[in-house]
A and B are shown apart, each in its own frame.
Chain A
Amino acid sequence: MIDGFIALYIFMLAAFTGYEVIARVPVILHTPLMSGSNFVHGIVLVGAMVALGRADTTLETVIGFIGVVLAAGNAVGGYVVTERMLEMFKSSKEKR
C-alpha cells in the first residue's frame, strides 16, 4: 500500500524529477515539451479504466465511461500532436 509518508516521499521525489528534467530546456523545445508532458498525464486513462471497471451503479458507470473517453482522448491526442511536432524537427535538421 502507498500510504502516509511513503506517499509524501514519492510525491516529493517525483516533483524534483519533473523540475530537473525541464530545468535546462532550450526555448525551441518548449512547445513540444508542453505537448509531451500533456501526453504523459494521459496516464489518467489507467485510473479512469479502474473507476469504470469498479462502477456498480448506473451513475458511476456513466461518469466512468465519460472519464475513459476523455482520458483516451488526452493520451491519443497528446501522442499524435507531439509526434507530429517532433517529426518536423527531424526533417528540417536532416535536410541540412
Chain B
Amino acid sequence: MADAMDARWLIQLSYFVAAVLFILGLKRMSSPVTARGGILWAGAGMLVATLVTFLYPGMGNYPLMIVAIAIGGVLAWWTGKRVAMTDMPQMIALYNGMGGGAAAAIAAVELFGDTDHGLSFAILAVLGGLIGAVSFSGSLVAFAKLQGIMKRTLRFPGQQAVNLVLLLVTVVVAGIVVAQQGHIGLAVLFFVLALALGVTMTLPIGGADMPVVISLYNALTGLAVGFEGFVLQNAAMIIAGTVVGAAGTLLTRLMAKAMNRSLANVLFSGFGDTAAAGGAVEGTMKPIDAQDAGVMMAFANKVLIVPGYGMAVAQAQHKVWELAQLLIERGVDVKFAIHPVAGRMPGHMNVLLAEAGVPYDLIYDENEINPEFPTADVALIIGANDVVNPVARTDPSSPIYGMPILNADKAKNVIVIKRGQGAGFSGIENALFFLDQTRMLYGDGQAMAAELIHAIKQL
C-alpha cells in the first residue's frame, strides 16, 4: 500500500517536471539562439514521463507495451533520420496523424470498456476521440498528397453539403454513444464516421493550402490529447495537449494570415474552383538560355533570389547557394527574398537554405526586401510562382487578390527558372512571366542552377 502511494507521488512529481520542461522547451524553441536546447529540454521531459509511467499502479501487459514502443519508436526513428529535408512537411503530417490516432485509440479503449464514466468524462472522451480520429485520417490524406501518392484533388458538386451532413451525423452518433455507454457497435460506427470525415474534409483542399491544414491538424491533435488527459486524469497530457492546442491554433492563424485568407476560406472553398475567374494575361513568355542568364547576373550589381517550392522539389538549394557564392565572389550584392508562405510550410525555405549553409544575414523576409526590388538588376525566381504574381496587387477579380507578394515585377530584369509553361499550384496564370523584362529559363531547378554556375565560371 505504501509502495503504491510512493509510486503515485513519484509519478505526479515526474509529470509536473515533464510539463514544466515542455513549456520551457517550447519557449526556447521560439528564439533562434536557444532553439537547439529547446528540443533537448522537451525530450528530457518526454523521457521522464514515459519511464515513470511504467510504475503506474494497476497495470499489466508490460511485454506488449515494450514491444509496441519498440515497433513505433524504431520505425519513426528510421524514417525520421532518413527523410530528406525537402520532405519534412509530410513527415510532420504523418507523425502528427499518429498522435491523433493514439488519442482516438485511448478514447476507443475507454468507450469499449465496461467502466461507466460520469457524463462529463464520457463527453470529453468522445470529443477527444472525434478530433483525434479526424486528425488521424486527415493527416494521412495530407501526407499522401504531399508525398505524391495522391495526385488529384477530388472535388464534386455539393461536396460541402455532403461534408456538413457527415459532420452532423457523426455528432448525433457521438451523442448517442455518450448516452449509451458500453454499446460497442455504436462506438465502432462513431469511429468509422469520424475517420471518414477526416478524409472527406481534406480531399478537396489543394496542395498549396496543405501547410495551414497540417498546422490545424497539429493543433487538433493537441486538443484531443488534452481531452483524453482529462479522461485519464493525467495532468501531463492535459497541460502538454492544451498548450499545443493553443499554440497550434495561433500558428495556423498566422499562416492563414500570411496568405491573406481566413481559415474557413482555406477549409471550405476549393481554391482551384475560382481560378477560372481570374482575368486572362496579355503578352508572351520569352525564353532565355543559361549562358545569357549567367552573363546577366555576373555583371549585375544586385541580384535578389526568390526561392519557392520548385527549389525544394528539385533539391536545388545547395546549387543555388553555390551560385550565390560565385556571384558574391564577383562582387555582386546577393540577397535571398523569402515569402512567408513560400514552400509547403512557413519557414520551409529558411530551413532548406539553412541546410545548404546560407547564413542568416543574407536572408530577408517580404517586408524587409520589397523596397529593394526596384534597385535590383536581376530577380532570380527559382520554383516560386503565386508568391510573385503581381495580379495579387492589380487584379481584384483574381482569387489571390490582396495576398501580400514579393514585388519581383519591379526588378529591372527577371529570370524565372521553371520546369514547364504550366500555371502554379493554385492554377492561376502568372502575369510576371509575361512582362517585357522577364525571361524564362526552362528546366529542372538543380540542373539550371548548375548550368548557370558553369556559365559564370567560363567568363
Contact = CB atoms under 8 A, between A and B. Distances in A.
B369 interface: no
A46 B98 contact: no
B367 to A, nearest CB: 10
B68 A31 contact: no
B218 interface: yes
Q: Which of A10, A18, A25, A32 lies at the interface centre, i.e. has the most chain B CB atoms within 10 A of its CB?
A: A18
A82 B39 contact: yes
B237 A69 contact: no
Contact of A11 (B30, B50, B184, B238): B238
A83 B237 CA distance: 22
A41 to B, nearest CB: 5
Given A46-B53, A92-B359, A79 B105 contact: no
B221 interface: yes
A60 B113 contact: yes
Most chain B beta-carbon neighbours within 10 Å: one of A26, A49, A77: A77
A36 B26 contact: yes
A85 B81 CA distance: 11
Interface string B150-189: 0000000000000000000000000000000000100000
A69 to B, nearest CB: 4
B235 A2 contact: yes
A37 to B, nearest CB: 5
A23 B258 CA distance: 15
A44 B62 CA distance: 17
Interface stretch (B242-250, B382-390, B401-409): B242-250
A56 B413 CA distance: 71
B65 A30 contact: no
B230 A2 contact: yes
Given A68-B102, A77-B79, A17 B243 contact: yes
B72 A73 contact: yes
A59 B72 CA distance: 20
B293 interface: no
Given A18-B242, A69-B68, A50 B59 contact: yes
A8 B379 CA distance: 53
B64 A76 contact: no
Nearest to A53: B59
A68 B357 contact: no
Interface in A1-50: 1-2, 7, 10-11, 14-19, 21-50
Contacts of A81: 80, 83, 88, 91-92, 95
A54 B347 contact: no
Contact of A36 (B39, B70, B113): B39
A1 to B, nearest CB: 7
Interface in B322-352: 338, 340, 345-348, 350-351
Contact of B112 (A1, A7, A60): A60
9 contacts: A17-B23, A41-B244, A44-B237, A46-B15, A49-B65, A52-B68, A54-B58, A67-B105, A90-B36
Interface of B: 15, 18, 22-23, 25-27, 29-32, 35-36, 38-39, 42-43, 46, 49-50, 53-54, 56, 58-62, 64-65, 68-73, 75-77, 79-81, 83, 85, 88-89, 91-92, 94-96, 98-99, 101-103, 105-106, 108-110, 112-113, 184, 214-215, 218, 221-222, 225-226, 228-230, 232-248, 250-251, 254-255, 258, 338, 340, 345-348, 350-351, 354-355, 357-361, 363, 365
Interface of A: 1-2, 7, 10-11, 14-19, 21-57, 59-61, 63-93, 95-96
